[in-house]
């Protein structure tokens, strides 16, 4: 019996739902954010300059809400950070600021919080009551009928569930009315005044969620209420069947009534395509007034005779109110008193006797359009082909007169659109990158410069955007993307001035690699042929088909980073490397682009110094560095004017190559220490102008620099001399910026009334202030923060080493009555004291990366290799709100005494999950592992050295973790910026090689995996890899517009075509065009030299011929007895239902010579009955699935001859082959398992699955000698079958038995079988284990891999514990999510033999005591569990 594990490696990126709301702050708080301080780089002039800039920027940029997005089961909340343009001097300099629109020079999305849920989000709404001082909450729904309301909780800096509503289970069965499957999940809408929400479940039931009434009058803006969000207090069900409704299409709440009014769009009696001519107005509107107290809902108005293709309702905002009904071919406006409509094309129909309706000047179809309101009378549509349309509701103060539609830009194919405040829209997309777009209604305040640069210039407001490669295809097209867009519509009356001029600028984009239809596994350009073991894995990359239509791209994804090597030297026994700047007094180079001057290399017994000029030249002999011993640390002091070198016995200060001061540690300590042992430094941390030393005996010394004389002096802090606790790690943190962040968390900070105001009153110049703090962790696990140089304790946490979810100051605890944080009992801590006692923090780091709103991160490395990582946040505890008297900012706090005056009482840290799988015992830290970098290839973050080196990039205040496998363990790392290596890096491997590298610039690292996207301007369908020449053949279809009569005549026979033509032309329409997809097979190659993707050759298909499959096959030529590698293409002619299906098989050979004209030549082509949907090579023969028949052919060199066949049930979707076994999946009839026997030349059925299943993808799972069959289906499940003819229940082997089943929650479109790496834990076991990597239509990538029984049993019992042991977001149950979903079909449940790493990954985020306790309960140890985790991730790191 074999067992499997499921793990997501790349989370879904295709955004399904987006919404805007004031989640983390109320609109009143947000007003303070809208005029942020100038960016630190812009040097502001005199004091008045900022005020004048702020005055010139229009106030139209009001408070900006948060953006909430969901992708499958991932929920993320972002904050929009706008950068206000500073002064007129920047406006001309467009290269640095991008376009200035409404006084904003740039904007980006910054992550607030992010969750992986145990359930897919079906719909999402923001519940808002529109008042200034209340926050909004997020309501999300899940299948079948679960609703959860979430609100932002400041005390934990994350979302907290405020209410849950479930209408499933036995007592709610009557709501289903006996139905089992429903077309879509629950849909939720919110009332604009926040009085209630409505959810449509089970097709015909509406649940009304009643909101709790506001506790205090709305006119009383008190600070106490600022944090409360809208909450739901009760709910009840309305059965729409009682109101004689059968088919609900949409519903929404309208504005402008005293009670909430729900308008429902429904179809009275359905129609169908054949009856449209006589019965097309079948929809109607009904408006109900919802009286929640009485639970009554009288109908107050209705409108009938709406077109059958109406599908969406939009509530018109006040002062107009009313409702817009969006149909595929027309738009209708209805209110209680008036109505008007607009026809969009010639297909729109109106009831007899109604007045003639207005038509648009152009032809457009609006089905599946997404809409959002830009202002109270302009609505923006994103249509199905990615065009942006603007509809103006023309209004004369009393009634709506007409609707006016105009075309605008082209953008991405969107799955949702939402307006963020008064100047941003967000276009979410499943098929392309999602865009944050700034728009401006009316005259732009500054004339936009007419930039015709690359579209990449739009992004220049992002940090280092010059390096971030963005794809031109995803930016708004048609007009040069940065130009303003203007409409001049002469006939518009003066009321619609605002729509005449609307400008759009793309400000930011969230990367999406979905939908992954197919992928190939090929070599990277910079791969190393000699690599072995795990380093070999980073030779490969996944090349995926993603996107659709004009947003179609080829995405190259890598899991691990392989830097581009510039040069390497052999350098044994290195212990550390540092690069330092040297700024002579006459040099006036700009700070941010200064080159490094020296590279200091510390070896075991000496130190080398190299000059980093045009080339690296060794200057060890001529400099005054201490080169006799090894160096502990080196860095710059006094604003890069001096270099400090710390070694074991002392320190030297150097000006360039000349020493200006030398300190000897031993002579300073002789009076205190009586023993003869001289003190030596063990580690050092540098923060200009201080250096913190940890001595070999565990004591602390501080070197204090004097900037006026550029000298340093040594100081032993008295506070540690008296204490007996041993220090396990220490570091310095420099809190730098125009306004240091940690100052805000003081209890006596002048800011304590309002965090939002960022500008420091008494300092308007641009030079940064910096506060230095010292962070110390003791062996007991206690963490303390001190101010430097006074060593005043400002923050302490008792149990940092156990990794609690929230860190807060000890002193704030006794006065904080906070429900969000439960303190663990002291009794529980002693569960396994002895195992907990030997876990220590061996290294600390704290850093705040660039960005005006960025907050510091704190890192602690444990001696078992775990990296704890925390994000600081500000939380003003309840004591400063409620008990205002004793804690007034100036009066001090009488009850605790002066000790707490200056503590960082309002500072908290929340734990951030970080997926690093290194597990190793660091008994004592030989050298630091964490290196923080501020610019490597335009990115910032940290590098974690050691046995599994890992890059952690900080993008949008979130971590992007990318391992680096290619060189094995790395012992030292530093950045290098000089002439030949721009923003590069140097590292030393444990084998003793020093490598100077750069990050590959073609990749974008702000994604779960580094990705390079290549625009194809067509839809990619299938890709395969030809290894001998590193080519990627792929199928692309490009939409082409054709005249209608040409399309019809070629589709059917002539007579029919003539009739049709007459019908069409008699209408006199000029819109006789039709869009058809033209297919071709492109052969792409990634250029070795330039790293660009190029099309080497294109094979066009015939008209109406769709290429369905392309594969590289190896066939045995029966005449020459040699193997030939050919490219096989299977096609189908799509000509409508009246023409019998046929297809073609094409075989192409690749030319061997480099310079030949044709890269590929056709060697065979033959028509077949039925579509050729899959091809594969079976032991030198070609297996072809054409229509419902599978034929096996042998290749003679010029002909294919059939030797065997098998009749499949309906249509084969996938073929897989192992040895002589064949597995194929049918479109409706599940999977079949065949074998091929050479001697009788027959394909015979071994077994099949007797159930019905709509297959998506199939593959073999190989675990040693065990063969399993894996299939994914249309209900988002994965099943594993096995063939066991000796088992009784297999009916003598006819039936495949179920080994495991699992609900993935996404459509798995492709499996790829890859060999697992043998790891230490499994070295003795089977060697040929293969895991399946799969891609989903949401843009996720995961793997299903075999595990041995012992690991499986251990992790399965851990998984069962974790279901109850951790609080799940939204209250979802992971077990019910992973149950097989049969969607109403009969299904016999199978065994549950898959463990779910999505749930197991929460184990590492628990605190140490909880981890030990759970491990003890299931009879194992924490280290055993963690080593199983790391073995699994090592075994499956394929890329």
- Pick from 712, 838, 827, 826: which is nearest to 779 by CA? 838
Q: Is 886 helix (H, G, I), strand (E, B) or coil?
A: coil
Which residues on adjacent β-strands are paired with residue 3?
A: 1347
- Pick from 132, 125, 134: which is nearest to 212 by CA? 134
Give the residue-averaged pLDDT of 651-658.
89
997 pLDDT more than 80: yes
Backbone angles phi, psi at 176, to 5 degrees: -75, -20
Read off the pLDDT band of 183 (50, 70, 90): confident
E strands in 97-224: 104-116, 123-127, 137-142, 146-153, 158-166, 187-190, 196-201, 205-211
Write 1150-1158 long-range contacts (CB < 8 A, 24+): 1150/1026, 1150/1028, 1150/1029, 1150/1031, 1150/1125, 1158/1097
Alpha-carbon gap, residue 1397 to 399, rounded angstroms: 58
Q: Which helix (H) or strand (E) holds 740?
A: none
Alpha-carbon gap, residue 97 to 459, rounded angstroms: 9
Give the residue-averaged pLDDT of 1259-1272.
94
Give the residue-averaged pLDDT of 1387-1400.
93
DSSP per-residue string spanning 1343-1382: EEEEE-HHHHHHHHHHHHHHHHHSPPGGG--HHHHHSPP-
DSSP per-residue string spanning 1076-1120: EEEEEEEEEEE-TTT--EEEEEEEEPPTTEEEEEEEEEEEEBTTT
Alpha-carbon gap, residue 238 to 202, rounded angstroms: 12
Can you give the pLDDT at residue 925?
57
Residue that wins the pLDDT comparison between 1207 and 60: 1207
Cβ count near 810 (within 10 Å): 14
Read off the pLDDT band of 410 (50, 70, 90): confident
Alpha-carbon gap, residue 296 to 285, rounded angstroms: 19
Alpha-carbon gap, residue 1214 to 1254, rounded angstroms: 12
Which residues on adjacent β-strands are paired with residue 1132?
A: 1106, 1143
The residues near 1214 (Cβ < 8 Å, ≥ 6 apart) are 1174, 1224, 1225, 1255, 1257, 1258
Lowest average pLDDT, out of 514-518, 670-674, 816-820, 1021-1025, goes to 816-820
Alpha-carbon gap, residue 1076 to 1145, rounded angstroms: 22
Can you give the pLDDT at residue 51?
33
Alpha-carbon gap, residue 747 to 897, rounded angstroms: 13
E strands in 1229-1306: 1231-1237, 1242-1248, 1255-1263, 1266-1273, 1277-1282, 1297-1303
Residue that wins the pLDDT comparison between 1340 and 53: 1340
Give the HSE-up count for residue 602: Cα atoms under 13 Å, Cβ half-sphere: 22
Give the residue-averaged pLDDT of 1342-1369.
95
1246 pLDDT more than 90: yes
- DSSP label at 1329? B
Residue that wins the pLDDT comparison between 213 and 155: 155
Can you give the pLDDT at residue 750?
46
CB 1225 within 8 A of CB 1258: yes
| Angle, alpha carbons 661-666-668 (nearest 5°) | 70
Residue that wins the pLDDT comparison between 883 and 967: 967
Backbone angles phi, psi at 796, to 5 degrees: -145, 145
Considering Cα of 880, then 37, then 77, then 937, what sign does the dihedral take? negative
Max mean pLDDT range (468-482, 498-512, 999-1013, 1056-1070): 999-1013
Length of the chain (residues):
1439
Cβ count near 494 (within 10 Å): 5
766 pLDDT more than 60: no
122 pLDDT more than 60: yes
Give the gyration radius of the chain's Cα atoms: 34
Q: In the sheet that 727-737 helps form, which strands lie side by side, from edge to edge?
A: 727-737, 769-778, 783-787, 792-797
Give the residue-averaged pLDDT of 256-274.
92
Average pLDDT value for the chain: 83
Cβ count near 1283 (within 10 Å): 18
Alpha-carbon gap, residue 940 to 1039, rounded angstroms: 41
Largest Cα–Cα separation, the chain: 113
Can you give the pLDDT at residue 834?
61
Lowest average pLDDT, out of 22-36, 1186-1200, 1351-1365, goes to 22-36
Quick one: what percent of the chain has pLDDT higher than 70? 83
User: What are the pLDDT digits (tens) for 1086-1129?
Assistant: 887 777 899 999 999 998 899 999 999 999 999 999 999 999 99
Task: Respond yes or no on whether the N-terminal peptide bond of residue 250 is cis (omega within 30° of 0).
Answer: no
Can you give the pLDDT at residue 45?
31
User: What are the pLDDT digits (tens) for 1273-1284?
Assistant: 999 999 999 999
Give the residue-averaged pLDDT of 1255-1262.
96
CB 744 within 8 A of CB 755: yes
Lowest average pLDDT, out of 175-189, 519-533, 1194-1208, 1310-1324, goes to 1310-1324
Alpha-carbon gap, residue 53 to 50, rounded angstroms: 5
In this structure, what token pair is assigned to residue 736?
């730098």
User: What are the pLDDT digits (tens) for 733-751?
Assistant: 998 777 788 888 876 554 4
Quick one: what percent of the chain has pLDDT higher than 90? 55
Alpha-carbon gap, residue 420 to 475, rounded angstroms: 19
Alpha-carbon gap, residue 873 to 928, rounded angstroms: 27
Give the residue-averaged pLDDT of 42-53.
32
Q: Which helix (H) or strand (E) holds 803?
A: none
CB 106 within 8 A of CB 67: no
Alpha-carbon gap, residue 742 to 744, rounded angstroms: 5
Q: Which helix (H) or strand (E) holds 1414?
A: helix 1408-1417
The residues near 1337 (Cβ < 8 Å, ≥ 6 apart) are 14, 514, 515, 516, 517, 1306, 1307, 1309
1192 pLDDT more than 90: yes
34 pLDDT more than 80: no
């Amino acid at each position: 019996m074999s067992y499997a594990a499921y793990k997501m490696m790349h989370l879904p990126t295709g955004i399904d739902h987006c919404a805007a709301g004031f989640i983390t702050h109320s609109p009143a708080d947000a007003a303070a954010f809208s005029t942020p301080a100038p960016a630190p780089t812009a040097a502001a002039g005199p004091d008045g300059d900022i005020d004048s800039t702020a005055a010139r920027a229009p106030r139209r940029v009001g408070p900006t809400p948060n953006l909430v997005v969901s992708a499958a089961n991932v929920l993320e909340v972002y904050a929009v950070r706008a950068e206000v343009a500073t002064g007129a001097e920047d406006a001309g300099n467009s290269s640095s600021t991008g376009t200035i629109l409404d006084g904003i020079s740039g904007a980006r999305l910054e992550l607030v919080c992010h969750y992986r849920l145990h359930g897919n989000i079906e719909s999402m709404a923001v519940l808002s009551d529109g008042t200034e001082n209340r926050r909004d909450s997020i309501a999300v729904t899940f299948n079948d009928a679960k609703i959860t309301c979430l609100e932002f909780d400041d005390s934990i800096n994350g979302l907290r569930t405020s209410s849950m509503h479930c209408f499933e289970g036995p007592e709610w069965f009557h709501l289903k009315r006996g139905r089992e499957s429903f077309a879509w999940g629950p849909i939720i809408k919110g009332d604009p005044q926040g009085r209630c929400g409505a959810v449509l479940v089970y097709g015909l039931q509406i649940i009304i969620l009643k909101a709790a009434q506001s506790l205090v009058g709305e006119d009383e803006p008190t600070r106490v209420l600022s944090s409360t969000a809208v909450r739901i207090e009760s709910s009840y069900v309305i059965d729409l069947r009682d109101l004689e409704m059968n088919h609900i299409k949409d519903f929404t709440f309208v504005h402008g009534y005293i009670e909430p009014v729900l308008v429902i769009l429904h179809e009275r009696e359905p129609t169908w395509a054949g009856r449209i001519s006589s019965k097309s107005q079948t929809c109607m509107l009904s408006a109900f007034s919802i009286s929640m107290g009485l639970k009554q809902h009288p109908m107050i108005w209705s409108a009938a005779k709406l077109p059958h293709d109406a599908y969406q309702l939009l509530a018109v905002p006040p002062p107009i109110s009313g409702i817009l009904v969006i149909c595929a071919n027309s738009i209708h406006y209805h209110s209680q008193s008036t109505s008007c409509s607009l026809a969009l094309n010639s297909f729109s129909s109106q009831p007899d006797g109604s007045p003639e309706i207005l038509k648009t000047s152009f032809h457009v179809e609006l089905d599946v359009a997404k809409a959002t309101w830009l202002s109270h009378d302009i609505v923006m549509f994103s249509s199905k082909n990615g065009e942006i349309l603007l509809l103006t509701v023309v209004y004369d103060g009393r009634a709506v007169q007409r609707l006016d539609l105009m075309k605008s830009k082209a953008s991405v194919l969107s799955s949702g659109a939402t307006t963020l405040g008064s100047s941003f829209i967000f276009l979410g997309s499943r098929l392309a990158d999602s865009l944050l777009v700034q728009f401006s209604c009316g005259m732009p305040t500054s004339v936009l410069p007419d930039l015709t640069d690359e579209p990449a210039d739009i992004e220049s407001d992002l940090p280092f955007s010059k390096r971030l490669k963005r794809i031109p295809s995803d930016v708004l097209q048609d007009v040069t993307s940065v130009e303003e867009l203007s409409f001049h519509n002469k006939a518009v009356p003066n009321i619609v001035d605002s729509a005449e001029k609307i400008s759009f600028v793309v400000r930011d984009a969230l990367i999406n690699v979905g939908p992954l239809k197919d992928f190939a596994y090929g070599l990277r350009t910079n791969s190393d042929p000699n690599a072995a073991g795990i380093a070999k894995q980073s030779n490969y990359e996944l090349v995926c088909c993603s996107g659709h239509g004009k947003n179609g791209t080829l995405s190259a994804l890598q899991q691990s980073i392989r830097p581009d090597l510039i040069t390497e030297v052999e350098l044994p026994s290195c212990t550390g490397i540092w690069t330092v700047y040297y700024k002579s007094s006459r040099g006036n180079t700009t700070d941010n682009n200064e080159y490094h001057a020296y590279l200091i290399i510390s070896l075991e017994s000496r130190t080398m110094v190299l000059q980093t000029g045009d080339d690296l030249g060794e200057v060890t002999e001529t400099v005054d560095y201490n080169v006799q011993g090894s160096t502990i640390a080196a860095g710059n002091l006094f604003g890069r004017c001096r270099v400090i070198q710390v070694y074991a016995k002392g320190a030297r200060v150097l000006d360039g190559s000349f020493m200006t001061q030398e300190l000897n540690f031993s002579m300073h300590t002789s009076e205190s220490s009586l023993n003869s042992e001289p003190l030596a430094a063990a580690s050092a941390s540098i923060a200009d102008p201080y250096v913190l030393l940890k001595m070999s005996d565990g004591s602390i010394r501080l070197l204090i620099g004097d900037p006026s004389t550029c000298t340093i002096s040594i100081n032993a802090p008295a506070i540690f001399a008296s204490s007996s606790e041993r220090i396990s790690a220490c570091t310095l943190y420099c809190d730098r910026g125009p306004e240091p962040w940690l100052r805000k968390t003081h209890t006596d900070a002048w800011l304590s009334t309002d965090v939002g105001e960022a500008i420091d009153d008494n300092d308007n110049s641009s030079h940064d202030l910096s506060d230095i703090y010292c962070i110390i962790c003791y062996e007991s696990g206690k963490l303390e923060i001190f101010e430097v140089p006074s060593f005043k304790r400002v923050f302490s946490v008792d149990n940092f080493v156990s990794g609690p979810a929230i860190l807060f100051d000890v002193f704030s605890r006794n006065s904080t009555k906070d429900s969000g944080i439960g303190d663990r009992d002291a009794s529980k801590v002693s569960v396994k004291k002895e195992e907990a006692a030997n876990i220590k923090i061996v290294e600390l780091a704290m850093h705040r990366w660039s960005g005006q709103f960025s907050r510091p991160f704190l890192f602690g490395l444990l001696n078992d290799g775990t990296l704890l990582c925390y994000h600081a946040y500000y939380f003003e505890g309840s004591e400063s709100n409620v008990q205002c008297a004793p804690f007034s900012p100036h009066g001090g706090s009488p009850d605790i005494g002066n000790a707490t005056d200056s503590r960082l009482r309002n500072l908290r840290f929340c734990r951030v999950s970080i997926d690093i799988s290194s597990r190793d015992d660091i008994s004592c830290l030989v050298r630091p592992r964490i290196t923080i970098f501020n610019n490597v290839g335009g990115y910032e973050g940290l590098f974690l050295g050691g046995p599994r080196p890992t890059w952690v990039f900080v993008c949008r205040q979130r971590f992007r973790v990318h391992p680096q496998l290619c060189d094995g363990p790395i012992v030292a790392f530093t950045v290098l910026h000089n002439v030949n290596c721009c923003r590069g890096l140097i590292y030393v491997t444990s084998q003793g090689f020093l490598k100077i590298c750069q990050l590959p610039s073609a990749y974008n690292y702000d994604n779960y995996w580094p990705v390079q996207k290549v625009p194809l301007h067509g839809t990619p369908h299938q890709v395969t890899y030809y290894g001998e020449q590193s080519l990627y053949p792929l199928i692309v279809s490009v939409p082409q517009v054709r005249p209608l009569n040409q399309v019809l005549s070629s589709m059917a026979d002539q007579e029919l075509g003539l009739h049709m033509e007459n019908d069409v032309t008699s209408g006199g329409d000029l819109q006789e065009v039709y869009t058809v997809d033209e297919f071709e097979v492109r052969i792409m190659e990634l250029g070795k030299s330039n790293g660009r993707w190029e099309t080497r050759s294109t094979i066009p298909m015939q008209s109406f011929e769709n290429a369905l499959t392309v594969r590289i096959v190896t066939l045995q030529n029966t005449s020459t007895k040699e193997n030939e590698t050919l490219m096989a293409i299977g096609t189908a002619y799509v000509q409508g239902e009246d023409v019998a299906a046929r297809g073609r098989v094409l075989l192409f050979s690749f030319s061997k010579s480099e310079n030949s004209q044709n890269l590929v030549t056709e060697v065979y082509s033959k028509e077949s009955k039925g579509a050729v949907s899959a091809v594969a090579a079976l032991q030198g023969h070609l297996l072809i699935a054409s229509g419902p028949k599978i034929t096996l052919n042998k290749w003679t060199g010029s002909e294919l001859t059939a030797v065997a066949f098998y009749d499949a049930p309906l249509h084969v979707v996938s073929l897989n082959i192992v040895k002589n076994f064949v597995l194929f999946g049918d479109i409706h009839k599940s999977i079949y398992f065949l074998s091929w026997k050479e001697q009788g030349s027959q394909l015979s059925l071994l077994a099949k699955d007797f159930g019905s299943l709509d297959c998506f993808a199939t593959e073999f799972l190989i675990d040693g000698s065990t063969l399993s069959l894996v299939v994914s289906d249309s209900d988002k499940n994965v099943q594993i079958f096995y063939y066991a003819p000796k088992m009784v229940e297999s009916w003598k082997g006819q039936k495949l038995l179920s080994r495991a089943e699992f609900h993935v929650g996404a459509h798995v479109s492709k499996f790829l079988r890859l060999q697992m790496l043998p790891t230490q834990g499994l070295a003795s076991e089977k060697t040929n284990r293969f895991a399946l990597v799969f891609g989903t239509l949401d843009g996720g990538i995961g793997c299903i891999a075999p595990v041995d029984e012992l690991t499986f049993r251990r992790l399965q019992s851990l998984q069962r514990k974790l279901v109850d042991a951790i609080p799940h977001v939204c209250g979802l149950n992971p077990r019910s999510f992973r149950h097989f979903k049969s969607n109403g079909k009969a299904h016999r449940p199978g065994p549950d033999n898959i463990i779910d790493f999505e749930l197991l990954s929460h184990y590492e985020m628990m605190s140490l005591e909880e981890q030990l306790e759970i491990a003890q309960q299931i009879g194992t140890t924490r280290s055993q569990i963690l080593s199983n985790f790391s073995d699994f991730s090592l075994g499956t790191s394929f890329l």
